[in-house]
Structure 1
């Protein structure tokens, strides 16, 4: 498999999942600073101009973080990255959908205002709102998503790489992590995992 990624973006959740699953992959960095994601070459791979994109063995390119995480789990069922219990699996996915549809969008308002507006004043207003919306998201995550050491309590799942990456942005988004000791402990716990250490060693985090 070939994974197109950019450092410190949500695409690193896929790296962590691949490492947890023990699956071989070829990482290809997309240079956001030079605008490589909007080049004709990359748009031919992922017309959305975003990461992650995962090219699998038959040449098919998969996109969207949640879909890639689910695919990885199916390729390594022995890793137990999705719970067998349908209720727990649904709870896991509900967290992932919240992360993708709400918390990630809140974060994107800081630097990606052009997706929703055209005026600089609108961009400035969205950026100014980010500490408030991300603090609210951190509170929701703490009170309703983090059920123990991991999203599902004692069991690590594909929700955790997703949550880890988004929670790693909180400090930079103006959230006072001192108010969220549960998230601080969660980040520290995740940082100790071999999968995250591998991403760090590769300069992805």
Structure 2
């Protein structure tokens, strides 16, 4: 199995899932700043030029966070990364998609890839602020789900890996997490797999 990632990017969530499953894999660093995701060698693996990418032992290639997370959960069911209970399972899948497609896909993309939304530099500040508003609203929505009993702090699933990276980005950007998200983030930092991944990706300071 081959895993293509960028330290501190959304791929950190998949990295955590791989370590939680105790899988053996080869890790390949893709430097986004240097444009390695657009190199012909990488585009031959992932034509979208995105990370993460996972190449299974049989050669199957997965190039989307949700697809990879679901594949790992289904391929290795012993870890129960997806709950057996239908209601909890639905909540987990919905939260996974919400973190990746809404908080990240609509909020953080406006903050981190502002130029994709406008070529006019005069509009960039407003676009970024709109992005931060979406991020904050998204985190508040996650908090509401915990308060309503739709999400749980006593289990680990594919959704937790996605939620961790959007919380991690908020913390790195000095965006305050709402109460339940703060608890979730602190609990995740105590997981051995999370601590290992943070150390491997060079984020020792987060553990202090």
Q: Same fold by TM-score, threshold 0.5 exceeded?
A: yes
Q: Kindly state the Cα deviation for residue 85 of structure 1 after the two structures are TM-superposed.
A: 1.5
Q: Kindly state the Cα deviation for residue 3 of structure 1 after the two structures are TM-superposed.
A: 0.5
Deviations 1:133-189 (A, max 9, x none): 2211111111125777x9434221111011001111113445233xx2322221111
Residues 3-42 of structure 1 correspond to what in structure 2 (within 5 A)? 3-42=3-42
Asked if the contact 1:54–1:68 (Cα under 8 Å) also holds between the matched residues in 2, the reply is yes
Q: CA RMSD in A?
A: 1.9
Asked if the contact 2:43–2:49 (Cα under 8 Å) also holds between the matched residues in 1, the reply is yes
TM-score by length of 1: 0.90
Deviations 1:84-129 (A, max 9, x none): 1122111111111111221002011012123333222232221122
Corresponding position of 1:78: 78
Deviations 1:50-98 (A, max 9, x none): 1000011121211111110111112221111111112211111111111
Change (3 A) 1:49 1:146: farther
SS of 2:156's partner is coil
SS of 1:108's partner is helix
Corresponding position of 2:190: 192
Corresponding position of 1:107: 108
Corresponding position of 2:140: 139
Q: Which runs of 5+ in 1 are unaligned?
A: none
The separation in 1 between residues aligned to 2:57 and 2:202, in whole angstroms, is 23
Asked if the contact 1:107–1:173 (Cα under 8 Å) also holds between the matched residues in 2, the reply is no
Corresponding position of 2:122: 121
Matched positions, count: 202
The separation in 2 between residues aligned to 1:65 and 1:147, in whole angstroms, is 27
Out of 178, 181, 185, the residue aligned to residue 179 of structure 2 is 181
The separation in 2 between residues aligned to 1:145 and 1:55, in whole angstroms, is 34
- Greater mean alpha carbon deviation, residues 71-80 or residues 5-14: 71-80
Q: Which runs of 5+ in 2 are unaligned?
A: 204-208
The separation in 2 between residues aligned to 1:23 and 1:103, in whole angstroms, is 28
